[in-house]
Structure 1
Amino acid sequence: MPATRGTPSRVGRPRAQGPSDSELTPRAEVLAAAAELFTVNGYAATTTRAVAERAGLRQASLYHYFAGKEDILASLLESTVQPSLSFAGGLLARTAPEAAAGAGLWALAAFDAELLFGGLYNLGALYQLPEVRGERFAQFRGSRAGLKAAYGALLAALDPSEDLALRTDLLLGLVEGGVAVARETGGRDARTVGEAVADSALRLAGRTARQIAAARTGAAGLRPA
């Protein structure tokens, strides 16, 4: 899960419980611990002390990697959007014609849904926290707005009819909401969920069953291996 990927740690910060058996860096362990606690216990109820203890660090060591709880949450949320935003940028550079836009929209919805579903914890549930309206989360909000714009551009190439803004909002809601529903029901892998969400995204865009099948085939060359 992207939220558990870390950057190389600095040397000289002691751990509370000695060396970790995990292959994660201390920073990544903090993110993994916070992802669990924020989604299971709630963001407001989770302290930095609890995150540090769950990660096996002293609380003072946590502040070597993050300025505070908001900084941790912002890093987690940004990790749920940035990979999809980068992927969307590549798609938009090569999906101008309508046929290619269908494949591009299918590929983006599948990639985005797989990313959100593929982690251990439902970080998408944290998007609506009131704290996310704060200044520290401006980068996350900007990235999410950029991802929505990419969905809108692909949707417009398929169907430039009225109410594009509303349909784009509905499309993003379908992707994020579809992942939430799939998590609730369980028993599926990320690839299956991504494909189901992508098919639904094309239906929302007004594509026929034959067009959806063609988009799925065309998206095969656009998706990561």
Structure 2
Amino acid sequence: MGTNDGRGGRRVGRPRAAQRPDSGLEPRAELLAAAAELFTTRGYAATTTRAVAERAGMRQASMYHYVSGKEELLADLLESTVTPSLTYARALLAEDGRAAEERLWELCRTDVELLCDGPHNLGGLYLLPEVRAERFAGFHAVRAELKDAYRQLIAATAVGGGLAKGELDLRTDLVFGLIEGVILVHRSDPERPVSDFARATADAALRITGA
């Protein structure tokens, strides 16, 4: 509540940052949504924990009941960009009824859709220098497992089975880089449907592998 300024008026305190509309999310999910917005619009280094808390509609002190700070929020956001694709990749690797080429195409298409479908460009956070720190080992572990799933599917294709290890690794790097890089392309043309990007990227990935 404001205080009287001695002249009959009310002294207004420093305005709070605009809160997010009521979303019905749990507090931790609300903090993650606020962090995703601020990290991708203001920048990670320029975003304070106070700004995240206020954007989520809570006091800074209350925020620490749910997360330890900015690093935990960033780590969770990064892992959220990989985990759904990894779950799908595991299921595709376990399939026996479809050719590896078809399963690889499906993984590429789905991965692009998951990366581009959110309201914020979380893929851009991969490039932050802070992400190299040990705190983000969990993200790097799930990302490495997803990349290995790509490698296994490429190796299982008719062409991939005859590749030397170095060539297989190179094609895996190229495909994986294509998938993660497409979010930058989509950002430059946000009106184009994500499904168009996803299918075109999956087609390009198979051409890279020689499949």
Instruction: Tell which structure's C-alpha radius of gyration is larger.
Output: 2
1:54 paired residue number: 55
1:172 paired residue number: 176
Q: Percent identity?
A: 59
- Point out where structure 1 has 5 or more consecutive residues left out of the alignment: 1-15, 208-225
2:85 paired residue number: 84
What pairs with 1:139-178 in structure 2 (closer than 5 Å)? 139-158=138-157, 159-160=160-161, 161-162=163-164, 163-178=167-182
Output one character per residue of 1:176-207: Cα deviation in whole Å (capped at 9) or x when no partner: 11222022112122222221211111111113
Q: Please state how far the C-alpha of 1:68 moved relative to its aligned partner.
A: 0.8
Output one character per residue of 1:78-119: Cα deviation in whole Å (capped at 9) or x when no partner: 000001011100100115x8x610111011111110000000
Mapped contact 1:39–1:126 kept (Cα < 8 A): yes
The CA RMSD measured in Å over matched residues stands at 2.0
Aligned partners of 2:18, 2:49: CA distance in 1, in Å? 17
Mapped contact 2:18–2:54 kept (Cα < 8 A): no
Mapped contact 2:106–2:202 kept (Cα < 8 A): yes
2:113 paired residue number: 114
Matched, 1:131 2:130: yes
Letter in 2 for 1:109: C
2:34 paired residue number: 33
1:196 paired residue number: 200
Q: Please state how far the C-alpha of 1:17 moved relative to its aligned partner.
A: 10
Mapped contact 1:17–1:57 kept (Cα < 8 A): no
Letter in 2 for 1:29: E
Aligned partners of 1:53, 1:70: CA distance in 2, in Å? 17
Give the alignment's TM-score, normalised by structure 1.
Answer: 0.79
Q: Please state how far the C-alpha of 1:62 moved relative to its aligned partner.
A: 1.1
Mapped contact 1:101–1:154 kept (Cα < 8 A): yes
Aligned partners of 2:46, 2:18: CA distance in 1, in Å? 24
Aligned partners of 1:58, 1:193: CA distance in 2, in Å? 40
Mapped contact 1:179–1:193 kept (Cα < 8 A): no
Letter in 2 for 1:168: T
Any idea what SS the aligned residue of 2:64 has? helix
Any idea what SS the aligned residue of 1:74 has? helix
Output one character per residue of 1:22-78: Cα deviation in whole Å (capped at 9) or x when no partner: 122221111111111111111111110011111111111111111110000000000
- Point out where structure 2 has 5 or more consecutive residues left out of the alignment: 1-16
Mapped contact 1:151–1:168 kept (Cα < 8 A): yes
